[in-house]
């Protein structure tokens, strides 16, 4: 029963995280990953099929989000570096 409670808590947190704004969402996903996937495997989740499908959908949706967020952050960093270089040369 403890494993099931842990699994339900992980799912509910992931649902909540999905509703956050970009920066908060990215930070919360990193924490969620650390809490639920560092010490455990995805196969450790004990959920009914419908909840497992929801978890899977959110999991992969958020992987895609993090990839996009990373690209955006890299672009912002490049722009900042270019602005610094431009200001330094003036």
pLDDT digits (tens, 9 = 90+) for 30-86: 999 999 988 888 888 899 999 999 999 998 999 999 999 999 999 999 999 998 888
pLDDT of 86: 85
Task: Tell me: pLDDT of 87 over 90.
Answer: no
Tokens 């196969």 belong to which residue?
Answer: 43
Q: How many domains does the chain have?
A: 1
Task: Tell me: pLDDT of 13 over 80.
Answer: yes
Task: Tell me: pLDDT of 26 over 80.
Answer: yes
**Alpha carbon distance 79, 7 (integer Å):** 41
Helices (H), the chain: 2-18, 22-37, 49-89
43 burial via Cβ count (<10 Å: 0-12, 13-18, 19+): exposed
Query: Which residue segment(s) compose the domain that 37 sits in?
Result: 2-89
pLDDT of 41: 84
pLDDT of 1: 67
Tokens of 73: 């952050």
């Amino acid at each position: 029963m403890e494993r099931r409670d842990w699994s339900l808590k992980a799912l509910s947190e992931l649902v909540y995280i999905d509703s956050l704004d970009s920066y908060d969402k990215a930070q919360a996903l990193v924490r969620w990953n650390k809490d639920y996937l560092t010490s455990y495997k995805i196969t450790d989740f004990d959920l009914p099929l419908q909840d497992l499908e929801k978890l899977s959908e959110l999991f992969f949706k958020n992987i895609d989000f993090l990839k996009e967020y990373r690209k955006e952050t890299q672009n912002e960093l490049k722009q900042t570096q270019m602005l610094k270089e431009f200001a330094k040369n003036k």
